Amino acid sequence: MHKIFKVGFGGGCHWCTEAVFMSLNGVKKVEQGFIAPKENPTDFSEAVIVHYNASIIELKDLVAIHLDTHKSTENHSMRKKYRSGIYYFNKYDKKTLAVIMKELQQDFETPLITAVIPFGVFKSSAERFHNYYFNDTEKPFCRTHISPKIKLFKEKYTKHVSTKVQ
C-alpha cells in the first residue's frame, strides 16, 4: 500500500484547478474550495487540496503542471481572489518545494510569483460546484477557460494524463 500525500494549489479559478488535477494519474482526490495561509487564517483565496500517490506522480510534476496551467508569473487585479500559491502541510515539504521552485524557475523567462505558503485553513466550496468541469465539459465557461488548460497539459505532460480524459 502506498502512502498518500497532500499539497494545496491556488492560482486561478478553483473549477479550473480542480479539473487539471483530477485529470492526472496518481491523484486520488481533489478537494475544491478556499485556502487561507497559517499566518492569516481569514485571508481565503480559491484553491484545491490534491491528495496524490508519490510513487505514481512526483511533487515536482504536480508543481510544474500547476505553474504551467495558471498565470504563475503575473500579478493582476484578481490576485486576492486567485492567490498564486503552493500550500505545504509539513516542514519537509517546505524545503522540497523551495528546491523545486528554484529548478522550475529556469523554465520561465520572467520571475515566478507563486509563493510557497504554510497551509492554514480550508473551506470547501458548495457541493454543486464540485467536479464542475467533468459534470459538463460543454458549458461555456468550461470550453473557454478549462478546456484550453486541459489541452495544454495533455500535450506537455502526456505521461501523467489519466485515461478518463484521453
How high does pLDDT run on average in the chain? 92
pLDDT of residue 162: 85
Q: Give pTM, 2 decimals.
A: 0.93
Cα–Cα distance, 162 to 22 (Å, whole number): 8
Which whole number is the average pLDDT over 75-84?
83
Cell of 151: 489541452
Which whole number is the average pLDDT over 71-88?
88
Q: Could you tell me which residues come within 8 angstroms of residue 144 by beta carbon, excluding any fewer than 6 positions away?
A: none
Element (H, E) at 159: none
pLDDT of residue 163: 72
pLDDT in tens, 22-67: 999 999 999 999 999 999 999 999 999 999 999 999 999 999 999 9
Query: Would you state the CATH architecture of domain 4-165?
Result: 2-Layer Sandwich (3.30)
Better pLDDT: 149 or 122:
122
pLDDT of residue 80: 80
pLDDT of residue 164: 66
